[in-house]
Amino acid sequence: MKSIIKNIGLILAMVVLLLFSGGSTVSAQTRNLDAAAMIADTLIARPLGLASIVIGSTMFVVALPFSAPANSVGIAATKMIVEPTQFTFTRPLGKI
């Protein structure tokens, strides 16, 4: 199991190093940065966004008894569920 995790980490490190070894022209560097941003978004930001949806939904349910009497259920839902969902599913790939 440890060797599998070590291999995955090594592969990810190589991919990141290859992505950031830029070309010599400005347009090539711009394309590499766009591709790097998209890959980083896909591998890092989207999974973290998905985890924040799960954690936010759980925390919303836990906080519901406290936010209902204070009439702040809508604000809590927006901050804990809606915004992470929009971050994960509706923004363009590569825009962080």
Mean pLDDT to the nearest integer, 78-90: 96
The fraction of the chain above a pLDDT of 90, given in percent, is 57
The fraction of the chain above a pLDDT of 70, given in percent, is 66
Which of residues 22 and 76 earns the better pLDDT score?
76
Q: How far apart are CA 32 and CA 93, in angstroms?
A: 14
- pLDDT number for residue 7: 55
CB contact burial 78-89 (16+ within 10 A = b; e otherwise): eebbeebbebbe
pLDDT digits (tens, 9 = 90+) for 20-58: 555 444 455 556 668 889 999 999 999 999 999 999 999
